[in-house]
């Protein structure tokens, strides 16, 4: 297994060193590595001063260990990972597998040394966001949250990797980003929009997070994520009901609802409907099915579907289709 020691940062200083470690080249905003290392896209963007995005959609051709030792300790790393394959992240005191149906949102203080292991053949779809602590502090200062401000500034207290699950909107946003050509004129705009969405979700999680969090054992976590996967993959069926899903998780109904909301920041029913509506929007964007056909596929009454769609997206399905058609004609 090959080992690479590198660093990140909330500016573009790290790009050249990172690229040179692999014998790669920088072409515009692309990092191009030799094909015997990985194939696919690596793209960086300074979204605004103090916020840098690093987008990766690659397939690894070799086993790798990435050792991250940052030179600057003035930023937070938000790592969103929808990998299909084997990836593990480690520190001296922590280890976990990450990916689409595992822990897929990782928060690491820049002062923390971490190790990221990936197996050959793994397809990694990931977005890393490096954001200056001073920007986060300014946000909480505005909302008079002195406790959060002190917690962010204190790297000594942030010695653990914090793991979360991405919400369904964030997962779909990253999946949608992977379908856009990185050489296209709209990619930077879409990448910046996705970064803003994810940062807003992070700040919301941070605002709502209590200092003492309920511990969730790995078995319960696996069961909850399995039910989440079931709900995402079976978006065409009517919602089975909390009792049925709780039984799949081998939990009581009350425990299932409590842990599901704790992990996903949403109730099972709302999670299911949100995913269903986002899938409907994707089907409309493909412009292959009518509104009636989509509502039938999703097992929702047509008028009820139109009402929910407008409530969620702020626009009716028919108006949304017209906007897409106007854009395509231009």
Q: What DSSP state is assigned to residue 213?
A: P
Same fold flag, 2-208 and 218-329: no
User: Is residue 211 predicted with pLDDT exceeding 50?
Assistant: no
Pairing of strands 64-68, 30-32: unpaired
Q: What is the CA radius of gyration of the chain?
A: 21
Each domain of the chain, given as residue ranges in start order, spans 2-208, 218-329
| Top-confidence residue, 38 or 172 | 38
Nearest to 72 by CA among 129, 17, 112, 110: 110
The torsion angle over the Cα atoms of residues 138, 209, 159 and 145, rounded to 10 degrees, is 30
Of the candidate ranges 207-211, 216-220, 249-253, 264-268, the one whose mean pLDDT is the lowest: 207-211
Residue by residue, DSSP assigns 236-305 as TSPP--HHHHHHHTTS-HHHHHHHHHHHHSS-HHHHHHHHHHHHHHHHHHHT-S-HHHHHHHTT--HHHH
Superfamily holding 218-329? Homeodomain-like (1.10.10.60)
Q: Residue 264: how many CA atoms within 13 Å on its side-chain side?
A: 32
Write phi, then psi, for 34 (nearest 5 degrees): -55, 145
> Residue 54 has which token pair?
């690093």
**Nearest Cα residue to 129 out of 239, 216, 45, 217:** 45
Instruction: Read off the pLDDT band of 92 (50, 70, 90).
Output: low
Q: Which CATH class is domain 2-208?
A: mainly beta
Q: Give pLDDT tens digits for 46-85.
A: 999 999 999 999 999 989 899 999 999 999 999 999 887 7
pTM for this entry: 0.74
**Distances in whole angstroms, Cα of residue 43 to Cα of each of 26, 67, 96, 241, 287:** 10, 20, 26, 42, 29
């Amino acid at each position: 297994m090959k080992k690479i020691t590198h660093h990140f940062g909330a500016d573009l200083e790290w790009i050249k060193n990172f690229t040179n470690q692999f014998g790669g080249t920088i072409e515009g905003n692309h990092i191009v590595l030799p094909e015997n290392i990985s194939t696919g896209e690596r793209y960086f963007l300074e979204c605004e001063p103090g916020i840098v995005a690093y987008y990766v959609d690659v397939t690894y051709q070799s086993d790798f260990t990435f050792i991250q030792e940052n030179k600057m300790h003035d930023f937070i790393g938000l790592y969103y990972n929808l990998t299909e394959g084997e990836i593990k992240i480690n520190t001296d005191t922590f280890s976990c597998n990450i990916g689409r149906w595992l822990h897929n949102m990782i928060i690491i203080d820049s002062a923390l040394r971490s190790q990221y292991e990936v197996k050959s053949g793994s397809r990694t779809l990931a977005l890393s966001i490096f954001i200056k602590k001073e920007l986060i502090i300014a946000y909480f200062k505005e909302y008079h949250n002195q406790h959060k401000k002190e917690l962010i500034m204190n790297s000594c207290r942030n010695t653990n990797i914090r793991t979360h699950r991405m919400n369904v909107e964030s997962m779909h946003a990253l999946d949608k980003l992977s379908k856009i050509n990185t050489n296209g004129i709209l990619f930077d705009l879409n990448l910046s929009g996705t970064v803003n969405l994810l940062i807003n979700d992070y700040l919301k999680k941070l605002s709502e997070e209590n200092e003492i969090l309920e511990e969730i054992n790995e078995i319960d976590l696996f069961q909850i994520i399995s039910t989440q996967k079931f709900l995402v993959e079976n978006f065409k069926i009517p919602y089975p009901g909390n009792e049925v899903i709780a039984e799949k998780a081998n939990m009581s109904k009350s425990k299932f609802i409590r842990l599901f909301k704790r992990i996903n920041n949403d109730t099972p029913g709302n999670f299911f409907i949100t995913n269903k509506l986002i899938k409907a929007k994707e089907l409309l964007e493909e412009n292959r099915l009518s509104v009636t056909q989509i509502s039938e596929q999703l097992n929702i009454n047509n008028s009820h579907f139109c009402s929910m769609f407008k409530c969620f997206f702020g626009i009716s399905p028919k108006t949304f289709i017209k906007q897409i058609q106007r854009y395509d004609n231009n």
